[in-house]
Structures are given as C-alpha cells and as structure tokens.
Amino acid sequence: MQNKGLIKVFAILFGLVSLYQLSFTFLANKVEDDAVAYAKNLHPDENVREIAKSEGKYLDSVANKNIIDLGIASYSYNDVKDKEMNLGLDLKGGINAILQISVKEVLISLSNESQNEAFNKALLAADEAQKNSNANYLDLFFEEFEKVAGTTKLSDPSIFGTKALSEKISFDEANITVRETLQEEINSSIGTAFEVLRSRIDKFGVTQPSIQRIGNSGRIQIELPGARDIDRVIRLITSKAELQFWEVHTNAEVQNFFFEANAKVAELLNVKTVNEQENDTIKKDDIDDLLGDDLDASEENQKNLFTYLMPNVAQSQQQLSSVVAQANVLDTTTVNDLLKRKEIRALLPNELKYAKFLWNYKSNTSTDGTAELIELYAIKGNRNDKPTIEGDVILDAGQVFDQLNKPEVSMTMNSSGTKQWAKMTADNVGNFVAVVLDDYVYTAPSVNQAITGGRTSISGGTMTVAEAEDISTVLKAGKLPAAARIIQAEVVGPSLGQEAIDASFISFGIAILIVLLWMILYYGKAGIYADIALIVNIIFIFGILASFNAVLTLPGIAGIILTIGMCVDANVIIFERIKEALNAKKGLKQSVEEGFSIKGALSAIIDANITTLLTGVILYVFGTGPIKGFALTLIIGILTSLFTAVFITRILIDGAVNKGANLTFNTSVSKGWFEKINIQYIKKRKVAYVISGTLIIISLISIFTVGLKQGVDFKGGRSYVVRFEQSMNATEVAESLKASFGTAPEVKTYGDDNQLKITTAYKIEEEGQEVDEDVQNTLYTGLKSYLGTTTYENFKPGFEKNGAGVMSYMKVEPTIADDIKTSALYSVFGSLLIVFLYILLRFRKISYSFGAVAAVFHDVLLVLGVFSIAYNIMPFDMEIDQSFIAAILTVVGYSLNDTVIIFDRIREFTNERIGKRNVLINDAINKTLGRTINTSLTTLLVMLAIFFFGGDSIKGFMFALIVGIIVGTYSSIFVATPIMYDTTKKDDKE
C-alpha cells in the first residue's frame, strides 16, 4: 500500500482532533454534575422546580469562569458548552415542535377583515379541504374562491383591492397575478414570524436551540433540547404578543349576574332529570356539552355554576376588586363553556352586555395545597371588540424590580400611546384597568391617579423573574403577523432522557464487548487488529459528531452500532479473501495484497457500502428529528468504517507481516469453519420459493385483515407516556378514561408495569393551545384516582419526576400526519429506485437488479407481516411510525449489502471461470457463506444487546431491525440469487 506514512499521520491527527472535540463534552458534563449536586444539596425536600432553578443559578454563576487553561487558550463553561456534543430530545429531554403560521389569518389581515361573502365562503371551504389535503392553504383558498366567486375578483376593493395594497394590486387585476402577490405577502409574513420567534428563542436561555423554516409551507420547526419548563416554552413560542389595555368591571358589578347564572345553570343541568321522568328524550351528549364532559351521570342533577366557580363577593366598598371569581384550573374549560351559553349570556344586564371573561395568566396553589386556583376577570368589552389601547404603542419593554424588589415588566409608550394612556387612567381614577396579553390578564390594578409620563408596568404578586423576562422578550421581539399554533409536538422529560442515556451506554458497552471478543475468537491476532480499527472508528464517529455540532439521538446510537457491524463486515470480507488465498497455498504477503485489492475484497466492500450510504442519504433527506439523526450517524459511520477497515487495518496487518508475524486469520476454535461447504442452492430454489411465498401470503392476509397499528405521527392524535408509583392494569385504566374521553383510548404497558402509553384522538380536530391544555386536564382528571398526591402541576410533562406524571408526550394534528406519511412513502420508494439503478449500473444486467429489488420487497413484506401479527402479543410498542420507516430502510440497506456481496462474487466467478452457471453461482454463495453468517451473527448479537438493554422507546425500532437482519440474510441467498438466476436464464434464451 502506497503513502502509508501520510495515512498514519492523517489517522493520528484526526484521532487527536476527535479526542480534543470530545473532551469538551466531558468537561461540560462535569460542571453540570457539580451543579446538580449543589442544587440537590440545597433542596433536600427534592422540589424539582426549585432544584432546576438552583441548578440554573449555579451554571449562570460559572458561565464565564475559566474551567480549563491550556496555556495558549483558556475556556469558560459557556465556551465548553458551545463545543460539546449535542444530545437529542430522547437523550436530554426538551421539546420539539412544528408551528403552523395561520395563512388564513394573514389573508384576513391583508383584506382588512373583508366581509365579502365569496371571500369568507372560500376561507371556510379551504378550512374543510385542508383536513384531507396536503396542498398549501393558499392553493386551496384559490380553488375554493374560483368555485364561488362568480364575477367577483380578488382585486375587488371589498377584498384585496384595498388602499394598503394599492401599490401592489391594481383594480380589476387578474386573479392569477393577485395570487402571486398574495404568495409574496404570505412569504414575507412567515419570514417575519420566523425572525420574531428566533429573537424570542435566542433569549430563552437553553443551549443549542434550533429553529428552521420548512419550505414555503408556513411551518417553522423549533427544537429546544434541555428545556424543562414546557409550559413556559409553549407560551413563549405561541404567544402572538397581542398586548391590550382594557377597562374592567368590578366584582360588585358582576356578582348579581353570577347568582342569576348559577340558578339558570342548575335549571339547565336539571333538564335531563325532569325529562327522563317524562319521556327520556334528552341525550347525554347535550349535558356533556354543557359540562365539558367532566361530570358523572349520577351527579349531573346536583351541579350548578358555583360547583366550578367561586365568586368573589363584595359586601363593602373595601372589598371591591378587579377579580370577579376564581376556579380550579381543571374546571376552567367547563366554566368557559357555561358562560358562553346563549341562555347565560342573555342574563347579562345592558351595562355588562359586551363583558368578556378572561383568566389570569397563571394559577396559584390553594391555601390547603390541594388545588391549583386561577382568577377570573370581567373585561369591559364593546360591540367591535376593540380595546381602549393596543400594544403597537409600546416602544420598549424590560424586566425590572419594583420598590418591594419584586420583578415586573416596565414599558415605555410612544407619544400617541402616552396621550391615550393618560386619558384612560384619568377616566378610571378609583377604578381598575387590565393589561391583557394574548387574552390572558397579567395585571388589573386600581388607578390612583392619571399616568402622564408614558410609562407603565406589568406586575403580579407571584410573577417570577423568568416570567417578567419572557414578557419583555415577546414585547420587544414584536407581534407575530398571525397566530402560530403547534401542529406537531414531542416533549421528553429529563427523567426519561437520563434513563435513555444510561440504558444506551449499557447496551453500547455490551454490544462493543461482544464484537471485540468475537473478532478475537474467530480471527485470532488479526481480530485484535480489526478491533483496534473498530475502536478508532468509534472515536472518529463521535469526534465528527462533536466537531460539526451534530445531534446525537437514541436511534443515532443504534445507527453507530449498525455501522460497527458494517466495519466488522468489511474486515470479515477482507479476512475471508486472505484466508482463501492462504488456502490456495499463496504466501502471506501476497494473500494480504490480494485480500485488500480491488479484485479481492475492495470491490465488494465499496458496492455494499454505497448501497447502504444511498439508503442513509434518502433517510436524511426525507426524515425529521431522531430519524435524521439516525441517518446522519449512519452516513458518517459508513465513511469512517470504510476508511478504518481498508486503511487502518491494512497498516496494522502490513506492519505485522513485515515483522515476520505468523498470521493465520483463524484460531484453534474457528479453524476449518465454512471451508468445505457444498450446498446446491439453485437446485433447492423452488423449495425456497414455496417457503417465501407462504410467508408472504400469511403476511399479506394479516396486513389486509388485522392491519398495521399506525403511530400518532401517521394518523394524528396525542400519546402520553405516564409513570405511576404502582403497577398498573392497562385495560382497567382504559375503561377509567372512557368516561373522560367519551371513548376508551388505547392504553398499553410501556416498559415496566408502572408505566403506560396512552394514545387518544380526543379533540385532535380542534385547534388552539387551550385545547391541548384541556385534553391534558381531562387526562389528569381521568387518572386522578391512580396518582395519589401528585398535583396537576407536577403531573404535566417537564422537570424531573419523583413520583407519578407524564414522562413524554407527542401530538400530531391530522393535516401534518398525512404529510409525514406521504414523505415516508416517498423515502421508501425513492430508495428502492435509486438502489435498483445503482445495481443496474454496477452489474450491467437487469436480472441482478430484479433479484435485489425482489429480495428487498420480500424482506419489507415479511417485516410488515411480523408487526401486523405480533402487535397485540409483544409487550412493547410495535407501531408503524417514522422510526419504523427508518428501520425498514435500514433493513433495505442491510439486505442489499448482503446481496451485493454475493452478486459481486458471482460476477467474479462467471467472468473468470468456465462452467455451468448454476455451479458457479452455488460456488460463489458457498465461498461467501462464512462472511454472510459471520457478519449477520455479529450484527444480530449487537442488535439483541441494544434490544434487551436499551431504552423502552427504541425496542420496536430494534425489533424491526432484528427481524430484518434475519430475513435479509435469508433472502440474499434464497430469494435474490435464485430470481437473478431465473431471469438471467430467460435473458440468455432470448
């Protein structure tokens, strides 16, 4: 081998750089471990929120202190943190969300809230069409407008021919050109939203946040690894930052209405009882609508408004307050539903006719510690629903401390706002005014005197510094041009993330140990050299990931271990070719040269790795989140394993040969294995066809009758992994939740007996952040009898969990679920097409491509069949989701890897030997059988180690890989090769 010195220097330098990059991860982890120990020592009561705050304060205090000094350079904790390896949500916890900027809101805003009938009909129709379409909203709106518009054009003054757009849209302009202008305006609004969100996230405080636009879909993906306060994150990214100043009704003005409403609600709720005695005509659904599905049938006739709402009664002037009532957080949806009823609104007197009932922005624990209570305000609305002052008058905002050293948000107004604020406060001396942000009341103080300086503040008795900073951040970053709603979200709690890290390290260590020992057992001293190359390969992979700030995920670790199998495979191919040359009585040096040559193992290695590399590229292009992480580590691993197997192993073996070492490439145990095999595969191919055909028929019958269990990301819905303090019965819990959700959700044991995965489509068609909160409330209410003393705040995802609570959570709306499914199908068929063309290009015969693709279809169908048959049997998750698609594509790559190795030897024998084709093919398979079994067995053992010792969330993924490795090894010998043989015979006859 030429240029050995250069390769040695490169390998040493690359290894040192990799270790240098990895050292930052170890240093950052050490500081963070110190922070955790410090925080836990301060809070022996294990209050997770206080521990998180203390941990953050510790890290802030050392952020700019040097923790390492190399003489020529020194690094602070912040410097080290920037250079450490990024961990994905499944290892670190945090939130990954896709936000949809409302194109509908942008269109309404551009039309100046047009009341044109055709325009509004088209919007409603586009809303319905979007539920079952992957097209973007503007295209759907345009199609629907064409149907209902008649002679009306989009450029009509009552729609987009407004004064504000007069320079861009001329009167009577064609719809097609107006559409182009609208697309530009929408793109501009989405760009603005992206910048506003990025500005907010940059100030949030988590390390290595990620925000990116998804094409021109109006979607923005945000990932905040390590975020613990999930509620705070969601408020930050979904807040439209619509600041408003309203006058407020006092509790004295509203209390009579509440008493009348209480009597009316009791009457409404008793309607069922009365009618049941007569003819039982009222359906339960009507009562459920009244109560938000929160009531037991046996208790309906006992309920009234005050069951859920506690009015703040004013018996004297001193008891006047802007707070008109309070309620348990869990009952807010029910209260909202009741107060919106037309029968209840009809009770409002004229002075309260336009009253809006808004909640405080945060709840407080009751004095006895048993409930989370939240305050209600009555805002003085008006016919146009326009506030007295809007937030566009704010010039600047910042977090400060008041005279009592409590945090608040100080705001400065422009000249117009200063005048409006002075008038509003002067008109309300002795009364109350409310500062409302995104329909939540942040403060509603009494006005003592007119405020003329153009400054005001947002404050609250329990406002934290973090909340004050978040409010000032969203106000300074600006208002979103349209509402941003979360259409897909994945939340992983830090407890589950840490458990995943621990499990992955154990499985990784066991897998590596198995491989190292096997290589020594099978190849002896040569196996030691392969092990050294393998360890160097691992250092290279992690070093590259750290250098490029790539994200390491749990599937990514599986990808690394899979590439270890690829690295072993390359060494096995080389060593088997060297053994063949030695058995042919060639010298050791000549045998080594032949084994590493292009005519020896190198051609097969390159072909096999390229097919897997192509699969990895397809996964990376079409995948998202953890799947993209898996693909990235697979791609990096293939490239580094190719380098280490071909060059590092070669340098070590050449060095041993030059020193006169006696390398036999076997041991006393493995000597003679797979050397005298003479199986007639082609002769037995019809038996294989029958076996494979039977298995495929069984799989297809199961797929079309039993079906496949689609995951949330393919069908839409919400799934929660909930941990309890005792063993749980999944069937019993499903029945308990049926009363809350209307229909029984799917409940399955997830890992240990005290952990359940609960999947539901409850209210998934409804939009709005309050819906997510309502579903979570409903889940908590339904599980409350199993949760012991766990409060709702501690039940919610985020923060460390000492007891029961949500460990992870996923939500996918149906519209994006369709897109994910379509993308997954593209990735599968795209990979098959690319591999078909590559094999056709390399082997120059279409029969080789037919054989390879037929084997792949065979493998995919069998894996799908196993998942269809075994879903209700296996004690772990076997859903068809994005991770499963990644597993399928990996199986495709692995199966092709095996097939290409055999095809490469068949091509070699048919080109260099004379004989019957079936004899040559049998000889080629027999010659590669040692490599096939060796590699498959090693990879299978590695996968089994991850399956048994890895985290619960990866078990289904690993099971698909294990089944795929088994059927892929079988199909490369008994499906791909026979089909290639039969189609070649047909070609030869023609």
Per the listing, tokens 């002052």 go with: 389
Report the helix count and the strand count for the chain, using DSSP H and E.
34, 24
Q: How far is CA 644 from the centre of its chain?
A: 33
Who contacts 286 (Cβ-Cβ below 8 Å, separation ≥6)?
272
Structure tokens at 427: 């008109």
Structure tokens at 103: 């194109």
Structure tokens at 575: 């060593």
Q: Can you tell me the distance from the alpha carbon of 473 to that of 316, in angstroms, rounded to the nearest whole number?
A: 40
Q: How far is CA 631 from the centre of its chain?
A: 15
The segments of the chain whose pLDDT lies below 70 read 1-4, 70-71, 134, 203-208, 216, 270-302, 369, 460-462, 477-478, 497, 623-626, 674, 951, 985-990
Inter-CA distances, 91 with 202, 573, 797, Å? 22, 35, 15
Structure tokens at 757: 């995965």
Structure tokens at 202: 């940059």
Q: Can you tell me the distance from the alpha carbon of 338 to that of 331, in angstroms, rounded to the nearest whole number?
A: 11
Who contacts 970 (Cβ-Cβ below 8 Å, separation ≥6)?
none
634, amino acid identity: L
Neighbours of 646 (CB within 10 A): 20
- Of 105, 245, 120, nearest to 185 (Cα)? 105
DSSP 880: B
End-to-end CA gap in the chain: 45
- Of 605, 674, 552, nearest to 929 (Cα)? 674
* Dihedral sign for Cα atoms in the order 96, 89, 881, 899: positive
Please answer whether residues 413 and 456 qualify as being in contact, where contact means their C-beta atoms are separated by less than 8 angstroms.
Answer: yes
Coil, helix or strand for 815? helix
Who contacts 489 (Cβ-Cβ below 8 Å, separation ≥6)?
95, 96, 97, 98, 809, 810, 811
Strand pairing category for 551-552 and 717-723: unpaired
CA angle centred on 634, ends 631 and 637, rounded to 5°: 150
Q: How far is CA 817 from the centre of its chain?
A: 12
At 721, give phi and psi (nearest 5°): -100, 115
Q: b/e string for 542-581 if b means 16 or more Cβ within 10 A?
A: bbbbbeeebbbbbbbbbbbbbbbbbbbbbbbbbbbbbbbb
pTM to 2 decimal places: 0.72
* Dihedral sign for Cα atoms in the order 911, 913, 919, 922: negative
- Helix H, strand E, coil C: the string for 362-430 is CCEECCCCCCEEEEEEEECCCCCCCCCEEHHHEEEEEEEECCCCCEEEEEEECHHHHHHHHHHHHHCEC
What confidence score (pLDDT) does residue 520 get? 87
Structure tokens at 97: 């969300």
**88 beta partners:** none
Structure tokens at 323: 């707070």
- Of 962, 937, 935, 932, nearest to 947 (Cα)? 962
Query: In this predicted model, what pLDDT tens digit does every residue of 223-259 receive, in sequence order?
Result: 888 788 788 788 888 877 788 889 999 989 999 999 9
- Helix H, strand E, coil C: the string for 150-214 is CCCCCCCCCCCCCCCCCCCCCCCCCHHHHHHHHHHHHHHHHHHHHHHHHHHHHCCCCCCCEEEEE
Please answer whether residues 404 and 212 qualify as being in contact, where contact means their C-beta atoms are separated by less than 8 angstroms.
Answer: no
Q: Can you tell me the distance from the alpha carbon of 55 to that of 82, in angstroms, rounded to the nearest whole number?
A: 18
Query: In this predicted model, what pLDDT tens digit does every residue of 127-142 receive, in sequence order?
Result: 888 777 767 788 888 8
Q: Can you tell me the distance from the alpha carbon of 957 to that of 489, in angstroms, rounded to the nearest whole number?
A: 20
What confidence score (pLDDT) does residue 325 get? 92
Structure tokens at 760: 């539901």
What is the average pLDDT value for the chain, to the nearest integer?
80
Q: How far is CA 199 from the centre of its chain?
A: 22
Query: In this predicted model, what pLDDT tens digit does every residue of 547-600 receive, in sequence order?
Result: 887 777 777 777 777 777 777 778 888 888 888 788 778 888 888 888 888 777
Q: Can you tell me the distance from the alpha carbon of 418 to that of 774, in angstroms, rounded to the nearest whole number?
A: 39
Q: Can you tell me the distance from the alpha carbon of 563 to that of 533, in angstroms, rounded to the nearest whole number?
A: 13
Q: Secondary structure of the chain: what % helix, strand, coil (to 5)?
A: 60, 15, 25
Per the listing, tokens 């609960």 go with: 758
Please answer whether residues 289 and 272 qualify as being in contact, where contact means their C-beta atoms are separated by less than 8 angstroms.
Answer: no
